[in-house]
Structure 1
Amino acid sequence: MKKIIGYSVLGLLGIVLILGIYGIRKFNNTYFKERPAYLELSHESQPMDFKWTHSKVDEGHIEYQTGLLIPVQIDSLEHNLYMQFDTGAPDSFFYEKDLISLRKMGYDIKEVSKDGIRFVESLNLNLGGKPVNLSMVKIYPNYGNTFSAEFDPKINITIGTIGSDILVDRITSIDFKNQTIQFFEERPEWMQQLNGFKTFDFPGRRVMLPATVDGKQYEFLYDSGCSAFGLITTKQRFKKYTEVSTPVESFGAKSWEDKIYINSKSSNYPLTIGGTKLTMKRVSCVDMYAFLQPLVTPFTRIGGWMGNQAINESHLILDTKSKEFLILTTI
């Protein structure tokens, strides 16, 4: 009888292991799969301004730097329009509800379909104070804001997302201290004089930065949409990288249409990214995945999700042509 029970337990564990390996492999293949890049950007290479936004979350808690927003100006429209810069999103989007509102105001925004996907064909606008043309931007269905032609200076409207497809075959300079973003087709002269570039990977348009913590090597997925967080990691590392006496902030963070409950603490724990010494500033973990994380994490490429907190006073350069990057603490 004991042997039967033992064999049954081993058989069950074997099935769980097989299913786990299959699930992890499917996740990696799906998350990092190569994707067609449709977005086209026509512009003169000039710094585009961005601003940090803050918002109230659960129980009146205020999160600062919850989003990295680039101001948008369409013709003479007075509304406070923005697009969020989100490297965690592999595609850029205009939100359908916002497009409907703009069309009701008389804007002729044409769309086309390709490969079964709807796109805004072309749109001229000012992005971060500079004129650009965005073509073949995906439409995110049934999402966004409806707004009227009446201007309300108190209301900020995010009409879309600038995703990591804008990084493809470009050099992107994000100066957090001066709050500017600039896109180059080739490295400018001032950038060519810089030393210390390190390699990074860009599978499926995911920015994977090499990091060192406590002498251990990791790959952190850089997600500028996680602006409020320095590092989202496992519960075990969360405890290690923070002080017991530091108060925990727990709240629900919105991710597109979902809400994920997160625990966060401030932290001065050191880490090195691309040879640059930094501090985490903030460490977070997701309780609902706490049991699975230590089992799954070693089999995925993602050693942690990195937001902007650790580098929000630095200057990040991402060159997807050569797959090199650099973080400057002074320039």
Structure 2
Amino acid sequence: MKLLKRILLSFLLLLVVISAGGYVYFKNKFEVGPSQLRLVSQPLTVPFLWKSNGAEPHAFQLIPVTLHGCPKTFYLQFDTGSPYTIFYQAKLETIEKKYGPATVPQVANGQVLQNFSFQVGSLPLTASALPVKAIGDGAIDWADTTSIEVIGTLGTDFIQDKVLVLDYKKSLFSVYDQFPPNLARGIQLLDFQFNSRRILLPGQINGKETALMFDSGSSAYELLTDKSTWLEMQSPHSPVDTAYVNSWGKTITAFTTTTTAEARFGQVRLPLRKATYLEGMSLVNQLLTAFSGLGGMTGNKLFLGHTLVLDTRHQKFAVLP
């Protein structure tokens, strides 16, 4: 009996250590530095474009951007899963070769873009330092003025202390300094979390309270969740689609099924037509998900036909039916 008590006590202590270590690791891994973007205080409304990944027509949400001294309109993918705005190294090198350092200043150590000015739609902004990543190639079709050239990612640093309005029905992307009075009337504002510039929306999935990370860069899937929730949501006799996804050099298997479940945010109910769970994630990622209390991840697809409003300064949101 004493030996059993010692084993149980040792196991309990191990769980405490793992829990504390997991919390610290999670906090450090997802902590972000201050935003380097400086935006002019003026409202912005600009149409966004959808780009397909071949299977999903709403996979990527593209926002128009222009650079100083360059007449061509480029695009940034709006990705709420990224706390930083980043630019793609090869594209910048191609632009710099054509228009010079006045348009694209030198990239320090090949990793940081310093003192950079550009416009998102008609909104001017500057950045003291932005990360540059070796993503994609440098090909740009200069002859075709209508070609869609994606040169980077627009992260949640762009919407920090702002009110974001995503009108999916009209394909409009709007940013305000204050909550628009015309939207404030007659809507239910709910609390959400914007810790480390990541968006966690509290809601219900099939009546169960949970928190969903809103990641507009993962819109190929309507809902990413754990296997047990996925099994509960699966419609009887519905087929399962299997896909293999490359994630940072590691192959992950995605299982997607049809469901009649729904997500609920306040009084607004949204049907969930598809649900997906992943196999092949590392133990660390599984632990991080467990420690975060995250119930799943969703992207643009869930809100198509609706309007999503996010006030990141006051951490209030609404889904307009």
Q: 228-237 or 192-201: which moved more? A: 192-201
User: Which of 319, 322, 325 is the equivalent residue of 2:311?
Assistant: 319
Distance 1:185 1:148, change over 3 A: closer
Counterpart mapping for 1:102-141 below 5 A: 102-108=95-101, 109-111=104-106, 118-125=112-119, 127=120, 130-136=121-127, 138-141=130-133
What's the offset of the Cα at 1:293?
Answer: 8.5
- TM-score, length basis structure 1: 0.82
Distance 1:277 1:155, change over 3 A: same
1:68 matched residue in structure 2: 61
The answer (yes or no) to whether the contact 2:166–2:308 under 8 Å persists in 1 is yes
State the distance in 1 between where 2:211 and 2:308 align: 16
State the distance in 2 between where 1:7 and 1:238 align: 37
State the distance in 1 between where 2:182 and 2:160 align: 21
What's the offset of the Cα at 1:237?
Answer: 0.6
State the distance in 1 between where 2:33 and 2:250 align: 24
Q: Deviations over 1:113-144 (max 9, x none)?
A: 7xxx723422234x3xx323232151223233
Q: Which amino acid aligns with 2:180?
A: P
1:195 matched residue in structure 2: 187
State the distance in 2 between where 1:284 and 1:223 align: 15
Q: Which amino acid aligns with 2:15?
A: L
2:294 matched residue in structure 1: 302
The answer (yes or no) to whether the contact 1:278–1:311 under 8 Å persists in 2 is yes
The answer (yes or no) to whether the contact 1:43–1:131 under 8 Å persists in 2 is no
SS of the residue 2:35 aligns to? coil
Distance 1:259 1:138, change over 3 A: farther
What's the offset of the Cα at 1:325?
Answer: 0.6
Give me the CA root mean square deviation: 3.3
- TM-score, length basis structure 2: 0.85
For these two proteins, the number of residue pairs brought into alignment is: 317
Q: 224-233 or 14-23: which moved more? A: 14-23
What's the offset of the Cα at 1:90?
Answer: 0.7
What's the offset of the Cα at 1:217?
Answer: 1.5
SS of the residue 1:105 aligns to? helix
Q: Which has the higher strand share?
A: 1
Counterpart mapping for 1:184-223 below 5 A: 184-223=176-215
Q: Deviations over 1:69-107 (max 9, x none)?
A: 1133445545x7321000110111111121111101123
The answer (yes or no) to whether the contact 2:113–2:132 under 8 Å persists in 1 is no
Alignment identity in percent? 24
What's the offset of the Cα at 1:185?
Answer: 0.7
The answer (yes or no) to whether the contact 1:144–1:159 under 8 Å persists in 2 is no
Q: Deviations over 1:250-300 (max 9, x none)?
A: 223455776543222233311212432112232111112498988775532
Give unpaired runs (5+ residues) of structure 1: 57-61
Counterpart mapping for 1:268-307 below 5 A: 268-289=260-281, 297-307=289-299
SS of the residue 1:21 aligns to? helix
The answer (yes or no) to whether the contact 1:39–1:166 under 8 Å persists in 2 is yes
What's the offset of the Cα at 1:197?
Answer: 0.6
State the distance in 1 between where 2:150 and 2:250 align: 17
Q: Deviations over 1:162-220 (max 9, x none)?
A: 11111111111000111111110112221232431111111111111111124322111
SS of the residue 1:299 aligns to? helix
SS of the residue 1:243 aligns to? coil
Counterpart mapping for 1:71-86 below 5 A: 71-74=64-67, 77-78=71-72, 81-86=74-79
User: Which of 237, 247, 251 is the equivalent residue of 1:245?
Assistant: 237
SS of the residue 1:264 aligns to? strand
State the distance in 1 between where 2:83 and 2:26 align: 15
What's the offset of the Cα at 1:65?
Answer: 1.4
State the distance in 1 between where 2:305 and 2:159 align: 21
The answer (yes or no) to whether the contact 1:234–1:293 under 8 Å persists in 2 is no
User: Which of 26, 31, 56 is the equivalent residue of 1:28?
Assistant: 26
The answer (yes or no) to whether the contact 2:252–2:281 under 8 Å persists in 1 is no
What's the offset of the Cα at 1:244?
Answer: 3.9
Distance 1:201 1:295, change over 3 A: closer
